[in-house]
Structure 1
Amino acid sequence: MSSEPVRTVSAAELAVLLGAAPAGGQPLYRGLADALRERVADGSMAVGVRLPAERALAEELRLSRVTVSAAYRELREAGWASARHGSGTFVAMPSGPPAWGTMVGAPVDGVIDLVNAAPAAAPELKEAYLDAVDELPRFMPQHGYHPGGLTTLRAAIADRYTRRGRPTIADQILVTGGAGDATEVVFEALVEAGDRVLIEHPTYPGAVESVQAAGGRPVPVPIDATDPDAFVADADRAARQSAPTVAYVMPDFSNPSGARATPEGRRRLAATLARHGVVTVVDEVAADIVLDGPDDLEPFGVPVPESATVAIGSLSKTVWGGIRIGWVRAEAARTAQLAKIMARRQLSVSVLDQLAAVRLFAWHDRLVAQRRRDLRVQRDALAAAVDERLPGWSYVLPAGGLSLWCRLPADTSSTDLVAAARSRGLLLAPGPRFGTGHLFDDHQRMPFTRPVSELTAAVNVLATLVVSADASMSVTPTLVV
């Protein structure tokens, strides 16, 4: 039986990736190890790639073999590389932090919870459930199981795609218990143990965990809100180097960066991934949360065959996270395959929730318009508060989505800041949580999904912590004679 060929990065190629020599002030081996680790963490080198032999790299970099050997050893000890006897040293990724779900707690009075980018319920939700209760009796004589979802709900979701420019029929829709459930079902179907899955970096932690739960290996590709279409060339390079079978992308207001692909960029990305034989899982949870600019961009995947993309959506951002209604849109044959997996996990999503969702889709445009108005006010208030109270913090104001992705001043750690804020009644997710390794400790996600008063209070807490940290660092010890 033939095994998959091992991919090796040559010493010359690695030297180009590493760029300039490590800055002074630290041992050479440690500077080299840090540079190698950064190239793995930012997606320049995929997990599983074989590093060049120590002697070859030493000659290429004009370093001693002892220096390269020490750098490789440091990488292995930290989990960024693994050694296979007789085969060499291979790129690896350290074990991640605790599961994203463990960070999600029940609401607590007096605590500002910005761990989740989740808005309060739309006022229409109550009326939708009251209408659903009135309609429920006609379903009660039946067994109550509706694998795949109620036909009326699947038709309503399909109609939404058709109106956006992607003709869809009910048979192409699978109803799930939220977007997270949809993601789990899709990755279970598409990913086999050892498969590589291309992901944006940074990205939503729950998606990374779903990939890993299915046995896949994430291949991080950097996403930049200032130049979102640069992702296309980087994804092309990663696909050639790592041969992923699946990709997970958020073309509309990626979480947490807020990046949005242009019409040309999304077409090029869809075509590029399809050319590599990659099935693209498109997370559209935030696609309707357009705060500035055009709200009618073509859905991702229009120019490629139906088999090349699978879309995921939910009502969690436009309506409420508490209504567990999500869906998958795919070609009908694939939807039928996914429905079998869904039926094994749970026979049916709640009929009452689905009936309420049908009514909510009838009000969709009005609900989305109000959600946009609220979030626009909250986004602008949060941005103004950060500008005023947190000098040195920077961000790209997103044209939509649910959060600011703030770069922190030098020597400021998101992990430390989050830990200190918790003791002040403010809950946040640390920056590294949105990466596959240990990057992004110099970033902080700030959702603007809570009322303006809470957002202002959150910034005030952070400002107090920053001032306290600065004061403690500026104190000069007194010499006692």
Structure 2
Amino acid sequence: MAGARPSKPAGRAVRTDRTLGSRQLAAMLPDPTAARPAYRHLAQAISTLILDGRIALHVKLPAERELATSLATSRATITAVYDLLRESGYAHSRQGSGTWTDLPAGRQPSGISRLLGRADTAIDLARAAPGLDEQTLVDALADVVPRVAEHAHTPGYHPYGLLELRAAIAERFTRRGLATLPDQILVTSGAQHALTLVLGLLCRQGDRVMVESPSYPNALEAMRRARLRTVSVPVTDTGWDIEIVESTLRQVVPQLAYLMPDFHNPTGCLMPDDDRVRVLRAAQRSGTWLVIDETMADLALDVPTPSPFASRATPGGTAQIITIGSMSKTHWGGLRVGWLRAPSRLVTELAGQRVATDMGGSVLDQLLALDLLGPGRELGPRRLEQLRGQRAVLAAALTEHLPQWRWQLPPGGLSLWVDLGEPIASALAERALDYGVRIEGGGYFAADPGILEQRLRIPYTTTPDTLREAVRRLATALADGPSRSSTTRQAHWIA
């Protein structure tokens, strides 16, 4: 039955408290002896985890003695760590109830900062999202105005989405090889909204969710905030190890698995057809819901556009697949229109869940989306040719200025997943700010802490000249070493 939860093995504990265990925190922290003084080293690491969202706000930190034991350090060191966190605003104490995480006045979580950008940064490579041609938007708005007027005399609430847009999205699935009806489509405010609705309906606090590593950071953050337990499977330059995926589904029996098989973000990998069938069968055996993120599926640069993952399922079978997508990567992130495809009964349940917080998306945005998805406004070929050119420019610039770095040219998507050869990504990203470049190190995409520090995601979503200049600045930042201003910025939080 749509929306029903598969049975779970006995003994799966669900955490109901807001306490971070000492072993859990210790596993996220560096070796206390790696830098001196140790207490500043550890406090810096904890504050970074709080800013990145890997440690939630308003969570009780472990008792000093317990954390000291887990880290094999002295209690005095942990006392100094907590004192420094309180002084800098990353923690506060409640009389008789311990130390709790907090955020200093004026600081924003990293997720918000990354979306807002920095006014003093000339080149932004932190976001892999294209802009929309101004004339295309103007023309679409002109066409949409009369249709908006037709809707002005209605209440304007459409919890399922406008019927005509649902029909258009369903037709797109059908053309790609997956027969779909409008009642199998829910229009959402982006793919992230779709994922959040699914997590809220199908998962309970403490449930296990299988994810890729690296993965889309905002999806991982949604799972952390839902207090789900993620279990990661690696995605490398050569793609997925399907045997690991199968064994994880078999042994962990996750409630849900979140996968990006089409030009995976950030690696750009494309999952082969045979592997998709194996994943589907393994998920059916474990009773796991598959959430397939297709936001990149239309960005096929060197291969045909892949057919939907769900098209591999046997008609009338027991597969539990939800497909999510959006227009953010293919058109424009400012157009907050996404969707999900699921069994019609589950769509009804998700629409009911949606009404509690969001009674429906903007009619104007949905009519714009309908116009932009229409045959007369097709962006696909022009957009793909532009991306191919920008990808070539980025690859050439890296070869010229940073020949020691390595990458695989992806068959689609929006970025290169670059191997720096040494674990310096976070430090380089911090240093690059002084040279006018915002970029994200691989650790931001990691499902588990402390890994992927040798990786850098470099999008090719901006102009050729900007890409060449960005690479030149990165090369200069790497050659110059740590700068005084970046050292000052890292130390500012303890001032």
In the superposition, the TM-score normalised over structure 2's length comes to 0.74
**Counterparts of residues 309-328 of structure 1 (less than 5 Å):** 309-328=321-340
1:264 is matched with which residue: 264, 274, 277?
274
CA distance in 1, matches of 2:483, 2:403: 15
Instruction: Quote the residue 2:251 is aligned against.
Output: 241
* Residue identity matched to 2:244: D
CA distance in 2, matches of 1:326, 1:459: 33
Which secondary structure does the structure 2 equivalent of 1:207 belong to?
A: helix
Instruction: Quote the residue 1:112 is aligned against.
Output: 123
Preserved contact between residue 208 and residue 255 of structure 2 (Cα < 8 Å): yes
1:179 is matched with which residue: 183, 191, 197?
191
Preserved contact between residue 184 and residue 210 of structure 1 (Cα < 8 Å): yes
- 1:109 Cα deviation (Å)? 7.5
Which secondary structure does the structure 2 equivalent of 1:458 belong to?
A: helix
1:192–1:142 distance in 2 versus 1, CA, 3 Å: same
Preserved contact between residue 322 and residue 342 of structure 2 (Cα < 8 Å): yes
CA distance in 2, matches of 1:173, 1:102: 32
CA distance in 1, matches of 2:299, 2:417: 16
Which secondary structure does the structure 1 equivalent of 2:340 belong to?
A: strand
1:303 is matched with which residue: 284, 309, 313?
313
Instruction: Quote the residue 2:438 is aligned against.
Output: 427
Instruction: Quote the residue 2:369 is aligned against.
Output: 357
Which secondary structure does the structure 1 equivalent of 2:458 belong to?
A: strand
Which secondary structure does the structure 1 equivalent of 2:404 belong to?
A: coil
* Residue identity matched to 1:247: A
Instruction: Quote the residue 1:329 is aligned against.
Output: 341
1:5 is matched with which residue: 8, 11, 16?
11
- 1:125 Cα deviation (Å)? 2.4
Preserved contact between residue 173 and residue 308 of structure 2 (Cα < 8 Å): no
Q: Percent identity?
A: 37
Preserved contact between residue 191 and residue 215 of structure 1 (Cα < 8 Å): no
Preserved contact between residue 414 and residue 442 of structure 1 (Cα < 8 Å): yes
* Residue identity matched to 1:119: P
Q: Deviations along 1:242-295, whole A, 9 cap, x unmatched?
A: 221100000001111111101111121112112211100000000000000222
Preserved contact between residue 262 and residue 306 of structure 2 (Cα < 8 Å): no
- 1:119 Cα deviation (Å)? 0.6
In the superposition, the TM-score normalised over structure 1's length comes to 0.76
CA distance in 2, matches of 1:161, 1:173: 10
Instruction: Quote the residue 1:418 is aligned against.
Output: 429
CA distance in 1, matches of 2:380, 2:148: 26
**Counterparts of residues 441-452 of structure 1 (less than 5 Å):** 441-452=453-464
Structure 1, unmatched stretches of 5+, are: 8-25, 27-69, 80-94, 473-481
CA distance in 2, matches of 1:280, 1:225: 23
Q: Deviations along 1:318-362, whole A, 9 cap, x unmatched?
A: 111110000010000000011011111111100011111111111
1:161 is matched with which residue: 160, 173, 188?
173
Q: How many residues align?
A: 394
* Residue identity matched to 1:252: D
Instruction: Quote the residue 2:132 is aligned against.
Output: 121
Q: Does 1:103 align with 2:117?
A: no
Pairwise CA RMSD: 3.1
- 1:198 Cα deviation (Å)? 0.2
- 1:301 Cα deviation (Å)? 5.0
Structure 2, unmatched stretches of 5+, are: 1-7, 14-33, 35-67, 79-101, 103-107, 485-495
1:359–1:458 distance in 2 versus 1, CA, 3 Å: same
Instruction: Quote the residue 1:407 is aligned against.
Output: 419
Q: Does 1:273 align with 2:283?
A: yes
* Residue identity matched to 2:111: W
Preserved contact between residue 431 and residue 442 of structure 1 (Cα < 8 Å): yes
CA distance in 1, matches of 2:230, 2:350: 22
